[in-house]
Amino acid sequence: MRFGLVGTGYWARVTHAPALASTTGVELAAVWGRDTAAAATLAAEHGATPHADLDAFLDDVEAVAFAVPPDVQAPIAVRAANRGKHLLLEKPIAIDQAAADALTEAVAHGNVASVVFFTSRFQPEMRDWLGTVTATPGWLGGVGLWLGTALSASSPYNTPWRRDRGALWDVAPHLLSLLWATLGPVAGVTAVAGPADVTHLILRHESGATSTATVTLSATREGSTAELSVWGEAGRSAAPLSATQPVPALRTALAELAAAATSGQLSHPCDVQFGHAIGRVLAAAEDQLS
């Protein structure tokens, strides 16, 4: 399947392009970016065609992988879905909820496959853990903690959209995705702000379970961590978050997207509808914080 890559930044260079270039059944055919010189350089590194014109780029591919900020991703993804292109999306799928609605509707109308790259959900160790946890009854709650360093001056992830939106929109989706998968859909959220971009979330799940998530991008390297566990009648079980390797995980996501597109079985546990549901929780939390 011919994929185009939208984006030329650090994440596109170190994760998306290498994964696209090394996934069986997937061809990195084209690159488009707002920086046309960077698009040309990245395309040349992987034998792809750079495009300055977005419509020409979309005409050249069957599927599109995104490595751009959410406010850039959403409108381009709508255009791609309307042209029948399958979508490998980054989380969050959008920040503005009208844009998220439009994207979800475009995917349904275009009858295209979609996968949102919640990185850990595509790791074999995490999938093994989720299989064990979901087969075990009696979980009553969960605790997630993500203390990231993306806002440090030396971090390649210190980008304008992360400085603007903080950990709530950048790393909380990873924890929410796992808590949703283990304890069930989130029925409500209470949000409290801490210093800097610290956010505390209390989640009420439809199952009756409750969970918490604390996130920041302002931690020091010494204090950084990513942890998640669930607890209940069977005791306590910790998720293998430290096992995450993004390139192999993205290869899995790409292969599953291509398989869904080829088979016509378009739904996926991490499809755009799921990404939209996570976004609604984040938006509700942000409304409380503001």
- Domain ranges in the chain? 2-120+247-271, 124-242
**Choices 3.90.79.10, 3.40.50.970, 3.40.50.720, 3.40.50.1220: CATH for 2-120+247-271:** 3.40.50.720
Task: Taking the CA atoms of 97, 285, 208 and 271 in sequence, report the sign of the dihedral they define.
Answer: positive
The pLDDT value recorded for residue 196 is 92
pLDDT at 129 over 90: yes
Contact between 25 and 86 under an 8 Å Cβ cutoff? The reply is no
Contact between 237 and 168 under an 8 Å Cβ cutoff? The reply is no
pLDDT at 244 over 80: no
pLDDT category, 242, cuts 50, 70, 90? confident
pLDDT category, 55, cuts 50, 70, 90? very high
Query: How would CATH label the architecture of 124-242?
Result: 2-Layer Sandwich (3.30)
The pLDDT value recorded for residue 76 is 98
Joined together, the tokens standing for residue 267 give 């739904």
What percentage of residues in the chain have a pLDDT greater than 90? 98
Q: What is the pLDDT of residues 149-191, one digit of tens each?
A: 999 999 999 999 999 999 999 999 999 999 999 999 999 999 9
